[in-house]
Amino acid sequence: MTAPLLEAQELVLQVDGRILVRDMSFALKAGEVWCLLGPNGAGKSTFLHAAVGLRAAQGGALHLGGKPLAQWPAEAAARQRCFLPQSFHDAFGASVLECVMLGRHPYLSRWQWEGEHERELALAALHAVDLDGFAQRDVLTLSGGERQRVALAALFVQDAPLLLLDEPVSHLDLHHQMLVLEHLVQLARDRGKGVLFTVHDLDLAARFASHALLLTPQATALHGPVDAVMTEAALGAAFGHRVTRIEAAGRVLFVPG
């Protein structure tokens, strides 16, 4: 029995004295795709930052691959989990290829340069996010959605067992939302990756995720298989807005009422 990729034990997260997450425990295992749901300011990004090690927890513990987060050396942690931040601010230009190959940083030794292997991985990842032919473009010339897909490609070449993504499809058009989420599901199914992503589109969450983690303004967290968590009552209470669950075209849809 292998350890869960990410495990929270009675986790407490606090921002400026406000408790966002209280005594949350769950385990994310290989092959599972979790959506992280909740209203604005409920602590979705805060939790992701804690899971990446960008902020400390105020109580409880976070384990990465069975080992407490703090015990992971920086480079080893970067080979175990990867993280997509919510936004990017490129102050300086660089080629798309260079930006994607940065994802191999944790695997290269100090004086090693990216070679043919890294280049091939990067081009394959660019293909996966439908950015063929973009390798030599300057990232400063890209649209928001294209820049986000470049960041996703960098994440794919980082090739960590656990993928933590903060709004991976927020800037993407319909087709590329599908493309990226299908790729994430495929990574979980075929290669045993664990995925945790925040998303505001409940329909996409229900369609692609196997599990859900729902944060509420009351600092309680619901978690479990998607169907068990994403009920009309729970979603309505969490978002403070009535939600009707319908089934159409073989899919589960949520209509705000």
Residues that bind another protein (CB under 8 A): 15, 49, 52-56, 74-79, 81-83, 85, 88-95, 98-99, 102-103, 105-106, 108, 110-111, 113, 136-138, 140-141, 158
To another protein, the closest distance from the beta carbon of 78 in angstroms equals: 3
To another protein, the closest distance from the beta carbon of 62 in angstroms equals: 13
C-beta separation of 49 from 84 below 8 A: no
To another protein, the closest distance from the beta carbon of 105 in angstroms equals: 5
Q: How would you class 39 by CB atoms within 10 Å of its CB: exposed for 0-12, middle for 13-18, buried for 19 or more?
A: middle
C-beta separation of 121 from 157 below 8 A: yes
Judged by beta carbon, residue 82 or residue 215, the one nearer another protein is 82
Judged by beta carbon, residue 32 or residue 166, the one nearer another protein is 166
Q: For the chain, state the CA radius of gyration.
A: 18
Polymer length in residues for the chain = 257
Judged by beta carbon, residue 71 or residue 141, the one nearer another protein is 141
Q: Residues near 112 by Cβ (< 8 Å), separated by ≥ 6?
A: none
To another protein, the closest distance from the beta carbon of 51 in angstroms equals: 11
To another protein, the closest distance from the beta carbon of 254 in angstroms equals: 30
Judged by beta carbon, residue 101 or residue 206, the one nearer another protein is 101
Q: What is the DSSP letter of 102?
A: G
DSSP H or E segment with residue 48: helix 44-52
Q: Give the angle 183-135-82 at the CA atoms, nearest 5°.
A: 45
Judged by beta carbon, residue 110 or residue 175, the one nearer another protein is 110
